[in-house]
Every structure is written in C-alpha cells, then in structure tokens.
Structure 1
Amino acid sequence: MLKILGKSSSINVRKVLWLCEELGLPYEQEPYGSGFQSTDTPEFKALNPNAMVPVLIDDGFVLWESNTICRYLAGREQRGDLLPSAPRERALVEKWMDWQATELNNSWRYAFMALVRHSPAHADPEALKAGVAGWNRHMAMVEAQLSRTGAYIAGASFTLADIVIGLSTHRWFMTPMARPALPAVEAYYQRLSERPGCRLHGCNGTP
C-alpha cells in the first residue's frame, strides 16, 4: 500500500490526497510537519533532504516534490485522461502544473503569510498591497485561460493541472482580501467542488 508522509493541512500534501481519490488508490498517511511529527530529523531527511512534505513511499520507492508525485501516480495507473501520453497534450498539462509551482505559488506568498498565517515578518502594508495585486494578476491569467477553454485549465477535460490550480483557486477564495470578479474562475471552482476528491481535500475549509 502507498504511504504518504505529510499533514493534511499542507496544500502540497492535499494535491496527492486529492489525486489518490481520483485514482481510487488506498493509502496510509502519516502526519508530518508543523504541529505533527518533525521533518527535521535524520530519518526524515534520509527520505527527503529538503525536510519538506509530502513524501511518497511505494513499495520501497521514495519520491518527493508534490507535482512529480502526481505525475508518477497518474503514470503508474496509466491514466492518460489525467496526464496524456501524446507530447503536445501532456506538455499543456505540465506547463500549467509548473506555472502553479513556480509563478502562482510565489505570487501569493506574502499576502498569504500576512493575512492567513499572520506572520510578524510579513506586516509591511506596501508589500502586502503589492502581494495582493500580484496574486490577483496571476488569477486573472487563470480567468483568461478558462475563458478560452470553457471548462478546465488544459482543455475540455479534467487533468492533473486542475488539481494543482484548483487548490490554488481555493486558497485565493479563502484568503480574506479584496478580489476582482472573475466569473470563469468562480464557475470553475464550483465545477471542481462537485468532485469527491475536491470536497475531501481541495475545498475542505483549509486555505
């Protein structure tokens, strides 16, 4: 059975948990991270030298980096609907997954730490204003993409890209800040919320 190391409140752990629901995969979860078992131990760092969650263990095979874990599991289960095998179609899915990890994640960092985590290190009003503006600007890019596809991030069908972008969309809606009206994003969020995996792990009240 798969083992997932990481606490359920982590947005990156929730990517893997949501995907396991989509795939119908049984798994054991061990909570690691702040408030739970420490990742700052030699034993955990032997699994992931970054001391971060999630970590996947599949019959002795150890994998870290949440998007890579999602790609691995979709490939392992031969789910071409979630991660296409055709190079161009696959590249479209992976492009948005990578954009979420590198661009969208960075855009929300200051605002999220200030408004949700209430971090004393993120209390500068001007930096917060810039952070909110940057986050909203990136979500407007999601709006434009959804307006083109009419349904999901990479096209007409649900893919891995929607798990990672869907979790980011949930975080955007859950953070107490001024947001522009993005009707395609709102419809997308409601569409995702109909999926059992999203209800369990994507829009369950945790930002």
Structure 2
Amino acid sequence: ALLDQSQPFQKNGAIALLFGAFYLLSRYATHCTWVTSEAYSSPSIVLAARGAHGNRVIFDDYREAYFWLRQNTPQDAKVMSWWDYGYQITAMGNRTVIVDNNTWNNTHIATVGRAMSSYEDEAIEIIRSLDVDYVLVVFGGVTGYSSDDINKFLWMVRIGGGVFPVIKEPDYLVNGEYRVDKGAAPKMLNCLMYKLCYYRFGEMMTEYGKPPG
C-alpha cells in the first residue's frame, strides 16, 4: 500500500523535472538566438541600438548616404573619404573614390589624411589637385556612434605625417590629450575634418531638455 501511495509523488516529481529541464533549455535557446542576432547578424554598415523603451532602432545612414550619392551626383563624380568607405562607395554609390580598402598606395592615403588634417584654405588646394567633386565624412555626434571619422582622425594625422612631415600629431593634442571640445588644440578646431563634422552642430538638439549642440 505504501508503494502505491508513493507512485503519484514520483510521477509528479518526474513531470516537474521535465518541465524544469524544458524551461531551462528554452531559455538557453532564446539566449543563444539573442547573442547570435547581436554579435553576428548586424553588419557594420547597418547600425542597431535600443531606444528609451527597449525597442530596437535601426540606423541605415550609410546606405542612405551612398544611395544619395548614386541618385544626386554626376556619374563621373569623384568622392574623397577615408579609405574605410572606399569599397562601399564604389559598390553602393557607383562613384569613383580617391582611396579605398586596397591600401597598397600609402602615398595616396597620406594625401587624403593631409587634406583632412589641414586648414580649409590648404585642404581645398589638395582637393583640387586630386580633382575631387565631393568630400564624405562620417560623424556620430548626434547618435553617439563611436566609430566615426573624429575617432579615426589621429590615424589620418599619423599616416599623413608619415609621408608629409609638415603634419605633426602633437599639434592636434592638448598636453598629450586628444580633445574635440572647445578646449581642443587650435589646429584640431580649424582643420577640414573638424569643420565638416561639426558644421552647424551647435544648432542641433541632441538631448531633450538641454541646450543645442
């Protein structure tokens, strides 16, 4: 009789264990799917973030910019940008670039770096010598995108300085520190890259309840 009474408890325990194992496995599968979607399914050209309410927000600015180039510029237009975007502009924008991801021509890349790190009146002479029609820069100050050209800028200075000694990295630093605020080095504040990235940025509302800029 005691054996008969214990069987329902054993059966209920087994069912509880099965449900527990199933729950854990389903949670693990959900977690793996989330990790895969975040780590492997987001190409660098399409950016994803979470909104204030946890909803997923897609930033498709890269492809929109390349589509704009394709639709609004002459077919023979030449675009100057940092080499990172060369293949993308060529493939999606169908426009000629000055430098691309095939980085064999270091002098050409250094020339672009020199133009980006020079004062505007000096940069325009370099741009004209390259027969450039458009200059493309990537700026993430509005969305907090940390892989923009401002963060890559010191590499432009270093590569440019490797070929053109007139470019010196310390000129863009303040006490050895890289700054992009109002306390940045005068050379930094007045170079082409900074001027293009922060053009009219002070008029933009970047955070609710705070002044523009």
Structure of greater Rg:
2
Does the alignment reach a TM-score above 0.5? no
Normalising by structure 2, report the TM-score.
0.31
Normalising by structure 1, report the TM-score.
0.32
